[in-house]
Amino acid sequence: MSDNGREQGEFTIAGATAYTYNPLEEEHDLSGHPESHRRMVAISQLLQQHGILERLRSIEATPIDMDRLLRVHDRDYVRLVESRARQGGGYLDPDTYVRPSSYEAALTAAGGAVSLTDAVLSGRARNGFALIRPPGHHALPGQGMGFCLFNNIAVAARFAQAEHRVDRILIVDFDVHHGNGTQAVFYRDPGVLYFSTHQYPFYPGTGDWREIGESEGEGYTVNIPFPYGVGDEGYRRAFEDVLVPITERYRPQLILVSAGYDAHWDDPLAGMQLSIAGYAEMVRQLIELAEAWCQGRLVIMLEGGYHLDVLAHSVLTTFRLLEHTSAPVSDPFGPAPRPERPVDDLLRRVREVHGLT
């Protein structure tokens, strides 16, 4: 994926959309594994075909400064990932591999997340999409899991808190799997409101609606544990009935998004029924919330998505919407072929536990 960002003078910066990407991240790869370099290749090819990156500001992704990484991760765990890579690779758990280039790739992914967040907070871009891997939202401070090595979005949030003095950050996670790592990092922190939609019960087994935070963070974790088979209507209802009023109450200064496109009805690793058009509606809602509450400051970070063509068209659509919310949706797959599960009772419980009724 080439660096096609224009010079600053070619943009009205207040309206600029940016991206970050480093081809080093493709060297984290294991043949036959669903989280492989082929995901980024599929994205890159479609974005280049449509010429979208030529219009965007490119933000360099470089390995993260260690002090920034250690705001989230234990030093001994970071050393473990480094040593495992230097020894030729291996597994952190049955799902999570390390290859010789994985440590540098993971440092670069976290660095890209921070660099793009910095660009948005410093006014060099209005919003952006971090095309980064390995993904991050399952990574705990002292443990990698679920394909994730370092928790990119948590590192970016801690950076925003420490170096930009952002007091209220909203993290929205619409990956089909619950972001247990992100939740754990901020479970006692009222400075980050974590909102997650996910299939439940499903890997990693966390994310019940009764998990709402602890101590000073009580009420600042919001879980929507969908049953198997929820689609566009259920996700729309969750955003309108829960996310919108929660955001209005919290008044975030920055919105970060863990964007997993594996809740699509044709994804091979899950059982939900979102369409790309359904993803587009969620992205539009997030853009509108960012415009309403934080001057448009919105940073989206890639997590899952394992149907390569669905992933590529979802990312293309997201980029288009970041530029303009009326942009066309690229959805060659269409709506889910099966009826979806109702969510009325679940959303009622979530609204009650968070005082929205």
H-helix segments, 191-243: 232-238
Catalytic positions are 138
Nearest to 130 by CA among 107, 147, 112, 110: 112
Q: Residue 104: what residue type? A: E
CA distances from 31 to 88, 167, 335 (A): 15, 42, 31
C-alpha 42/C-alpha 259 separation (Å) is: 16
3-state percent breakdown (helix, strand, coil) of the chain, nearest 5: 40, 15, 45
Beta bridge partners, 241, equal none
Interior angle at CA 300, CA 68 and CA 124, nearest 5: 70
Beta bridge partners, 140, equal 143
H-helix segments, 18-63: 38-50
Task: Count the neighbouring beta carbons within 10 Å of the beta carbon of residue 89.
Answer: 16
- The contacts of residue 15 (CB under 8 Å, 6+ apart) are 126
CA distances from 73 to 136, 139, 142, 212, 278 (A): 12, 9, 6, 23, 34
C-alpha 255/C-alpha 344 separation (Å) is: 27
On whether the CB atoms of residues 192 and 278 are closer than 8 A, the answer is no
Nearest to 101 by CA among 21, 33, 23, 20: 23
Task: Count the neighbouring beta carbons within 10 Å of the beta carbon of residue 123.
Answer: 12
What letter does residue 242 receive in the DSSP assignment?
I
Please give the structure tokens belonging to residue 133: 């891997």
C-alpha 50/C-alpha 354 separation (Å) is: 43
Interior angle at CA 213, CA 212 and CA 215, nearest 5: 135
